[in-house]
């Protein structure tokens, strides 16, 4: 939850449907940033 709040201190939408959409967008962004920063593991031996 701490990482979710780093994209903005609070959810700005007031309606529950929009809050859900805002949360999904934030999670998608976190997943994208995680994928960009993840190391690719290649077996050599």
Q: What is the distance between the alpha carbons of residues 42 and 39, in angstroms, rounded to a whole number?
A: 10
User: CA 29, 6, 33: angle at the middle one, nearest 5?
Assistant: 30
Q: How far is CA 38 from its chain centroid?
A: 14
Of 7 and 40, the one with more pLDDT: 40
pLDDT value at position 44? 84
- The string of DSSP codes covering 1-26 is -HHHHTT-SS----SHHHHHHHHHHH
Q: What is the pLDDT of residues 12-45, one digit of tens each?
A: 778 888 888 888 888 888 888 888 887 777 788 7
């Amino acid at each position: 939850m701490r990482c979710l709040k780093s994209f903005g201190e609070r959810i700005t939408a007031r309606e529950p449907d929009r809050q859900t959409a805002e949360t999904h967008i934030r999670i998608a962004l976190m997943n994208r940033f995680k994928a960009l920063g993840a190391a690719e593991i290649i077996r050599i031996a």
